[in-house]
Amino acid sequence: MIKRVFEFLYYCLYRVFALIKRVGEKDENLASLFYSVLLSTKTTLLFFFMRYTDVKNIFFNHPYDRIFKIGMLMIFVMWYFICKHYFIKKENYKRVISFYEKKYESKNKKMALLGIIYSICTFLLFILPSLLQ
């Protein structure tokens, strides 16, 4: 089930990048990169909720704030390599794209809209805690 959701969200992001015709860069690579950005954003969101607990003194004071920043960077790198390996290196993007192309033949724009909504919601979730302070 989680794998299916993981692949479906990748396909929705792929459809977003496929809307724009470009030369040189492949939509699969862009979708994989942007997906890793969204996943790392959601993962680091968990750390931002620590601001409201007693654990905040551990991570947000000097010198631990540097460890926190490096940890956030490492989360992005981890998601980047996971997405790159799973979709691009293993060429699973071909299987995922062909499966969902058959399943949602005439709904490419709707899938792209889902990808846009997913992206906007991810960034809103990231910004929302700072707006509530």
CA–CA distance, 7 with 18 (Å, rounded to integer):
16
What is the residue-averaged pLDDT of the chain? 86
Task: Determine the distance from the C-alpha atom of residue 49 to the mean position of all C-alpha atoms in its chain, rounded to a whole number.
Answer: 19
Residues 6+ apart with CB under 8 A from 77: none
Q: Give the domain ranges of the chain.
A: 2-17+25-131
How many C-alpha atoms does 28 have within 13 Å on its Cβ side? 16
What pLDDT digit, counting tens, does each position of 22-31 carry? 776 788 999 9
The model's pTM is 0.84
Q: Which of 85, 105, 101, 108 is nearest to 33 (CA)?
A: 85
Decide if pLDDT at 62 tops 80: no
Q: Which of 117, 108, 124 is nearest to 27 (CA)?
A: 108
